[in-house]
Structure 1
Amino acid sequence: MSEHITVGGVAVDTRHWIGGRRVASAATFTDVSPIDGAVLGEISRGGPAEVDAAVTAARAAFPGWAATSRAERAAVLNAVADGVEARLEELALVETLDNGALLRSHRRGVMPRVAHNFRFFAGWLLDLGREDFDTRGHTNHVTWDPAGPCALITPWNAPLMLATWKTAPALAAGNTVVLKPAEWSPLTASLLCDIAAAAGLPPGVLNVVQGYGAEAGTALVEHPGIRRISFTGSVPTARRIATTAAPNLTPLSLELGGKSPLLIFADADLDLAVDLAIEQYDNAGQVCLAATRLLVESTIEEEFTRRFLERAAALVQGDPRDEDTGIGPNIHPRQVEKIDGFVRRAVAAGARVLTGGGPNADLGGLYYRPTLLTGVAQDAEIVQEEVFGPVLTLQTFDTEDEAVDLANDTRFGLAATLATGSRERAERVSARLVAGTVWVNCFFVRDLQAPFGGSRESGVGREGGDWSFDFYCDIKNTVSAPNGWAPKGWNGHG
């Protein structure tokens, strides 16, 4: 196996990063670009041995990293952000080739956000804390103590952004990390290791083990040396992780799937509502937050649908490296098969295809046409289950109560979006929606100081701002008695 591959002119190491050095495995897995099916390289495939070595390295590095001052940790994280910015073009191109998302999005939004993840949590760390408070003359002093080695398991749809959304606060808190990136998009995690080492992150503080969930992932979450587990992915995988981690009572943060609604009321700006709906095709529909259920007030259904279909027809599908492309490929043949299965079963059950409905025969491979289905029942699979592809459903409602009931009638609760011209309605409806995030007349506006996570089966816990440090730390309260500092027998005179 070659230790390096060249992806878009960028050299990428195919080995794990453990204890500050590259480590190869005898077994490998093949990484393929979803753009054209080209093989990008053979990647080291880790298992229990590599995971144990990584956790051992993280445990050995933990005392030294935890003992560094907040200012020292913040300086290293800012240096990592500098490194990301210096290699932004390389990171953007490698990730586009690896997971098929739009190159312009990686350049303008995703990779700048990666750098911001490190800068934000470095800055937040410096201001973390609260005033001491009094209890009957006793002083309460709250501290955030590093918890220990953290297992971070990240998905393939936004690989580096979501990896650093977890890694940055974990490191800022004084923890060490073992990161397992998704096997369908592992390459930018390898580049991050090079950047972090160049920024001065000590050996063993960040470790990356590549491989499959059943092998590397399971070994990682069941390891007794892990003190925190943060996972973004599917509900079935989260259940397995929770079961595996239970014997060690390892605290979990789980950001899971969604089946989010977009509620469009008759008093909404209809052009804005169509913009919001079309935006749900972002990243070929591979966004956990996507509002894939369009709930439209019946009096505007016809006009909304006409405008939506015009906009959908204008979307350019093709190579994500092209500036004009609006929707690229899906990540993997298994994902396309899953998406198409949902659509075919929905049509067999009576759904009508208003646009799309299958793979793009002109492009072949992994390009699935942006799809809109109507005539679907509320209890239909296509309404209740996460597709994770460019597939939307359209349902209508007549009253505000009906809209809220439809919106809340799934087992998920990750996000919700609503379009309305009434501030009062927005306040009423938002208060009743079951969701971790509600967007009103906007979508995907995320601030790192805000809590992020899901309700119901969309997740456990919240991360962002103080919530990230609450999870990645052991929070301690030290209570001191009043006037308790004089040595025994001391009379107060010099």
Structure 2
Amino acid sequence: MTASTTGLEGLRSYVDGDHLGGGDPLRVTDPATLSTVAEVPTAGVADFERAVLAARRAFDRGDWPGIPAAERAAVVLRFVAALEARREHLGETVVAETGALVASARGVQVDGALGQARDAVRIHASLPEEEHNPVPLDALVTGGRVATSVLTWEPLGVVSAIPAYNVPLFLALWKVVPALLAGNTVVLRPSPLAPLTVLALGAAAKEAGLPPGVLNVLVEQGDAGARLMTTDPRVDAVSFTGSTSVGSAIMEQAAPTLKRVLLELGGKSAGIYLPGAVDRAADGIATVMRAMAGQGCVLQTRVLVPQARKDEVLAQAAERVAALRLGDPRDPETDVGPVISAAQVTRCADHVAAARRHGGRVVTGGRPRPELGGHFFEPTVVDLPDTANPLAQEETFGPVVSVLGYRDVDHAVELANDTVYGLSGGVFGPTEEALAVARRIRAGTVLVNGGYFGAFASSGGWRRSGEWRERGREGIRAYQQAKHLTAVSH
């Protein structure tokens, strides 16, 4: 697939209501075949400067925040509809630039993302723009005069949005749609590893009639533009999804201007299988492999099972995972596709090697597979002796799952919480027992025997997994600030 056959017009950066002209080309590569998907012109630092200025001007003039919320919602729905008209081509592009399996790309990454964007409009409509403060009457009546105390919710201003590569449309829309609904203007910078799907947002914004400067989309080769987005005093907030190390750097860059920083960062999520659910562990491990080849921050890459049944689980997992077919994501028989880059293959290999050096045992997999023609790493299960092993502590972001044994439930909780992360987790077993365990897990989301994933439920990380939350009511309020208004009769 090339830029001319994607069906996505305007594969260029979009600033202040227009697509940019030429810039140094960025070559986007299919991770499954290493062929060129497209070459897109990149934006320079001057273009990012222009985008920030355009967003600032559009906000300060009231071009967007100054119109009624219902009118903003109507424009956002037109924006979503413009993306829905590109659904087929968006799905093809997700496969080509990320290596996602076709069914996942179309059903989850595109249809799911667009459906949740529409749901976000419903959530925003349900939230009051003004709320009376519950102040006691005798505190409001003084000297024969009556005071009124109201809390209003207002936009932050200019938002810098920086999503990761693994589910690009999802992550971009989780940031852009709530920010726009709240009345903010946005500068959006997709990952250079997977920019094509996100670039479609510029064309959709133009088609939907968003005022110039309200949404700007810029792709770059390096990170100079992203650094400007996190440091410029004209930017009021930064929303980032990615690694904890980069999130930490963004907090540092934003600190001098005290921007609001919204972060969804790394994870090393644990799945606890209670004695009554041990037979589900092997399927749970295979599910991690199939989900974007393990490239998901919320995936349960640490599996905890009773020590007495650990060997049994490892044998089942080895059989189940070894049967997974690794290969072309366009082949309906494929179970696991590629990782995004050669660097990610190396990371997987290095983490497995480190696990071995510290007492881990590879049960199945553990090798790069370059002969398949792309960035492939075998689905891998590693038997770990304890959580001191680096594979139990460091996020791999690939098809590598570790299995650890626990003595009893208290030990399982201790192992699950023995991490600097706190993004997600899962507990499997009889519902009442599993719920009791889930309440003890230190993470922003804990699934009990599965769970709901949608726009109406927020998610977010604790500790080094992030700040604030996305989706749900909290995901809208994250892009707003509270103002106290009080008035006295005279």
Using the size of structure 1 for normalisation, the TM-score is: 0.92
1:123 is matched with which residue? 122
CA distance in 2, matches of 1:453, 1:51: 28
Structure 2 contact 359–389 (Cα < 8 Å) conserved: no
**CA distances 1:336-389 after superposition (whole Å, capped 9, x unpaired):** 111111112222333211111112355143111100011443211111100000
Q: Any unmatched runs of 5+ in structure 2?
A: 141-146
**CA 1:377–1:7 in structure 2 vs 1: closer, same or farther (change >3 Å)?**
farther
- Alignment-derived partner of residue 94 in structure 1: 93
CA distance in 2, matches of 1:131, 1:239: 35
Task: Look up the SS of the partner of 1:373 in the other structure.
Answer: strand
State which of 449, 457, 476 in structure 1 corresponds to 2:456: 449
Give per-residue Cα distances to partners, 1:124-152, cap 9 Å, x unaligned: 22221165244234433222111211000
Structure 1 residue 179 displacement after superposition: 0.3
Q: CA deviation at 1:120?
A: 1.7
Q: Does residue 275 of structure 2 align to residue 266 of structure 1? A: yes
Distance 1:436 1:107 in 2: 28
Deviation at 1:85, TM superposition (A): 2.1
Distance in 1, matches of 2:49 and 2:460, equals 29
Change (3 A) 1:7 1:328: farther
Structure 1: how far apart are the matches of 2:6 and 2:227? 34
Asked if 1:429 corresponds to 2:432, the answer is no
Which runs of structure 2 are paired with 1:78-227 in the superposition (5 Å)?
A: 78-129=77-128, 131-135=131-135, 136=137, 137=140, 138-212=147-221, 214-227=223-236
Whole-angstrom distance in 2 between the partners of 1:7 and 1:404: 52
- CA deviation vs aligned residue, 1:139-189 (integer Å, no higher than 9, x gap): 332221112110001100011110001100000001110001000000011
CA–CA separation in structure 2 for the residues paired with 1:332 and 1:369: 14
User: Does the alignment pair 1:40 with 2:40?
Assistant: no
Residues 456-467 of structure 1 correspond to what in structure 2 (within 5 A)? 456-467=463-474
Q: Secondary structure at the match of 2:369?
A: coil
Counterpart residue identity of residue 424, structure 2: A
Which of these residues, 14, 17, 23, is aligned with residue 17 of structure 1? 14
| Structure 1 residue 44: Cα displacement | 2.5
Tell me if the contact between 2:29 and 2:35 (Cα under 8 Å) persists in the aligned partners.
yes
1:86, 1:275 → 2: CA distance? 36
* Partner Cα separation in structure 2 for residue 395 and residue 379 of structure 1: 11
Answer with 71-80 or 173-182: which moved more.
Answer: 71-80
Deviation at 1:302, TM superposition (A): 3.2
Residue deviations 1:46-98 (CA, integer Å, cap 9, x gap): 33211110011111222110011111111111112222222111100011101
**Partner amino acid, structure 1, of 2:283:** D
Is this contact kept in 1: 2:421–2:465, CA < 8 A? Answer: yes
Distance 1:65 1:131 in 2: 22
2-side partners of 1:269 and 1:376: how far apart? 18
Paired letter, 1:277: I
The aligned amino acid for 1:144 is W
1:67 alignment counterpart:
66
| Mapped partners of 1:273, 1:428: distance in 2 | 19
CA 1:64–1:375: 2 relative to 1, 3 Å: closer
2:264·2:461 contact (CA, 8 Å) conserved in 1? yes
Indicate which of 326, 332, 339 corresponds to 1:330. Answer: 339
Q: 1:244 to 1:164 in 2, by over 3 A?
A: same
> Is 1:286 the counterpart of 2:295 in the alignment?
yes
Alpha-carbon offset, residue 224 of structure 1:
1.1
Alpha-carbon contact 1:376-1:383 (below 8 Å) kept: no
Secondary structure class of the residue paired with 1:31: strand
Alignment partner, residue 144 of structure 2: none
Q: Secondary structure at the match of 2:14?
A: strand
- Judged with a 3 Å threshold, the aligned counterparts in structure 2 of structure 1 residues 134 and 298 are, in CA distance, closer, same or farther, namely closer
User: Does the CA-based 8 Å contact 2:342-2:375 persist in structure 1?
Assistant: yes
Contact 1:151–1:177 (Cα < 8 Å) also in 2: yes
Secondary structure of the residue aligned to 1:291 is: coil
* Cα pair distance change 1:379/1:134, threshold 3 Å: closer
Given that residues 380 and 399 in structure 2 are in contact (C-alpha distance below 8 angstroms), is that contact kept between their aligned partners in structure 1?
yes
SS at match of 1:434: coil
SS of corresponding position for 1:396 = strand
CA distance 1:439–1:72, shift in 2 (3 Å): same
Bigger drift between 323-332 and 423-432 goes to 423-432
The two structures, once aligned, show a CA RMSD in angstroms of 1.9
Q: Distance in 1 between matches of 2:46 and 2:2?
A: 24
Assess if the C-alpha contact under 8 Å between 1:371 and 1:392 holds in 2: yes
Aligned counterparts of 2:434 and 2:269: Cα–Cα separation in 1: 17
Which structure 1 segments of 5+ residues have no match?
487-494
Task: Tell me the distance in 2 between the aligned counterparts of 1:447 and 1:86.
Answer: 22
Q: How many residues align?
A: 477
Distance 1:31 1:357, change over 3 A: same
Alignment of 1:243 with 2:249, yes or no, is no
**Do 1:266 and 1:299's aligned partners in 2 also have CA atoms closer than 8 Å?**
no
Shift of 1:192: 1.8
What is the alpha-carbon distance in structure 2 between the residues aligned to residue 14 and residue 84 of structure 1? 14
Deviation for aligned residue 1:318: 1.2
- Higher mean alpha-carbon deviation, 334-343 vs 124-133, is at 124-133
Call closer, same or farther: CA 1:460–1:269 in 2, change over 3 Å. same
- Residue number in structure 2 paired with 1:438: 446
Deviation >4 Å, runs of 4+: none
SS at match of 2:282: helix
Instruction: State the AA in 2 paired with 1:183.
Output: P
Alpha-carbon distance in structure 2 between the residues aligned to 1:251 and 1:213: 24
- State the 1:24 CA deviation: 3.0
**Residue 491 of structure 1 aligns with which residue?**
none
Find the aligned partners of 1:376 and 1:368 in 2 and give their Cα distance. 23
- 1:255 matched to 2:252? The reply is no
Q: Match of 1:367?
A: 376
* Identical columns (%): 36
* Pairwise CA distance, 1:328: 0.4
Aligned to 1:312: 321
Q: CA deviation at 1:268?
A: 1.5
Normalising by structure 2, report the TM-score.
0.93
Q: Secondary structure at the match of 1:219?
A: helix
Alignment check: 8 A CA contact 1:8 1:97 kept = no
